[in-house]
Amino acid sequence: MKNYEKFKLGNVKLLSGKVFRSAELAYKTYGKLNKKASNVIVLPTFYTGNHLRNEGFIGKSRAINPNKYFIISINMFGNGFSSSPNNSTLNQSGSKFPTLTLWDNIYCQHKLITEKFKIKKIALVTGWSMAGCQSYQWAAQYPNMVKAILPFCASSKTSIHNHVFLEGVKAALTADRNWNKGNYKKQPIAGLKAFGRVYAGWAFSQNFYRKKLYKKLGYKNSEELLKDWANDHAKNWDANNLLSKLKTWQLNDISKGPMYNNNYIKALKSIKAKTILMPCNEDLYFRTADNEYERKFITRSSLRPFDSSFGHCVANPGNDKNFEKELDKNIKELLN
């Protein structure tokens, strides 16, 4: 049984000027919209996430409580649920899938929220990693609609170093001889496994491995973790989907588009939403320093860094209970 809805967008003109044909957004809602329509929380998806994995941030004992809020969990383009290389029409499938920006994603999410649900104000947009990047994008693209954002382990613009890290995992995947510039007959399994193994070195911190914290996650040694990450990417991912979203991530910059014309400071200053930035000090690619810089220009913002050797994966539901508590405390503060 399908446990999510699809919103048909038809043909969408992208920021690049190209037309995205028969675009669809997959989403799931939790809770009920109140009479004033003032209890809306938007939860976009992270890089290898979907609406099901977002459920790890939702709960009756959590700050994002479906008994109190109307939660809209929206799948990003390229994740296999919304329009993606593996499920698009023939002339835009696989390697022919158009390049999408976060501007394009949020433009379409805005259509879903305003046209389907007739919502005028959003109480909070929050999320981990690429979902957090989308929360900044929402606040910059629709500053009068978004009341609060809480991006965690994220940034409003992908740093050069973050871009280079992504080039590394991309190179591992595309080195597979079956890759064939994205026109593969069967999934490039060796490349997908290499992608997962390389990524595991970045997702957790140096201290995570030094302290052997992988044992807390049920692995006997680091090799077991590497094999699991390799197999997970090979089993659950289409190569073009991974690379489509990777490109979107690399292009992340809230100043792209007609409103700010690449004036990054202007874009940051335009954010009216009450903002809490929550980096992890041991995250290897979304760095606390990036958030410190952003805070100077986002008027109503505060920085709440968290220390954890889990690094970027501190936010993965179930990894660090202390992070979960801090996150919920900060979300409650914004929602009050």
Query: Taking Cα atoms as reference points, which of 2, 13, 40, 57 lies closest to residue 117?
Result: 40
Percent of the chain past pLDDT 90, that is, above it, reads 99
> For residue 185, what are its two tokens?
């007959």
| Averaged pLDDT of the chain | 97
Yes or no: say if 100 and 18 are a contact pair by the CB < 8 Å rule: no
pLDDT score at 45: 98
pLDDT tens digits for range 297-317: 999 999 999 999 999 999 999
pLDDT tens digits for range 15-45: 999 999 999 999 999 999 999 999 999 999 9
Mean pLDDT, range 254-275, rounded to an integer: 97
pLDDT score at 89: 87
pLDDT at residue 2 above 80? no
Mean pLDDT, range 125-145, rounded to an integer: 98
Yes or no: say if 198 and 168 are a contact pair by the CB < 8 Å rule: yes
pLDDT tens digits for range 61-116: 999 999 999 999 999 999 999 999 999 987 999 999 999 999 999 999 999 999 99
Yes or no: say if 188 and 94 are a contact pair by the CB < 8 Å rule: no
pTM of the model: 0.97
Query: Taking Cα atoms as reference points, which of 297, 301, 237 lies closest to residue 264?
Result: 297
Domains detected in the chain: 5-158+253-335 (3.40.50.1820), 162-246 (1.10.1740)
pLDDT at residue 1 above 70? no
Mean pLDDT, range 286-300, rounded to an integer: 98
Mean pLDDT, range 139-167, rounded to an integer: 98
Query: What's the CA gap between 41 and 48, in Å, rounded?
Result: 21
